[in-house]
Amino acid sequence: MKRLLLSVALLAGPAAAAEPHPDATRVLSLGGSITEIVYALGEEGRLVGRDMTSSFPPEAQALPDVGYVRQLSPEGVLSVKPDLILAEDGAGPPETVEVLKNAGIAYESIASDWSDTGIRDKIDAVATALGVPEKGQALADKIAQEFSTAETRAKSVTEPRKVMFIMSLQGGRIMASGRQTSANGIIHLAGAQNAFYEFEGYKTVTDEAVLAANPDVILMMDRNAPQANKAANGTDDHAALREQVLAMPAIAATPAGKNGAFVQMDGLFLLGFGPRTGQAALALHDAVYGTE
* Under rule CB under 8 A, residue 231 binds other proteins: no
Which of 223, 210, 292 lies closest to 256 in space, CA to CA? 210
- The Cα-based distances of 287 to 161, 235, 263 in angstroms read 11, 22, 7
Cα separation, 292 vs 285, in Å, equals 9
Beta bridge partner(s), residue 176: 166, 203
Q: Is 88:33 a contact under the CB 8 Å cutoff? A: yes
Write the binding mask 54 to 93 for other proteins: x where contact by CB under 8 A, - elsewhere: ----------xxxxx-xxxxxxxxxxx---------x--x
Stretch that binds other proteins, among 7-15, 120-128, 188-196, 235-243 (CB under 8 A): 7-15
* Under rule CB under 8 A, residue 11 binds other proteins: yes
Cα separation, 72 vs 30, in Å, equals 10
* Under rule CB under 8 A, residue 201 binds other proteins: yes
How many residues lie near other proteins (CB under 8 A)? 42
Cα separation, 57 vs 44, in Å, equals 10
**Which residue, 2 or 155, is less far from other proteins as judged by CB?**
2
Write the binding mask 41 to 60 for other proteins: x where contact by CB under 8 A, - elsewhere: --------x--x--------
Angle between helices 116-130 and 133-155 (to 10 degrees): 170
Pick from 94, 158, 159, 227: which binds other proteins (CB under 8 A)?
A: 94
* Under rule CB under 8 A, residue 197 binds other proteins: no
**Which residue, 71 or 148, is less far from other proteins as judged by CB?**
71
* Under rule CB under 8 A, residue 179 binds other proteins: no
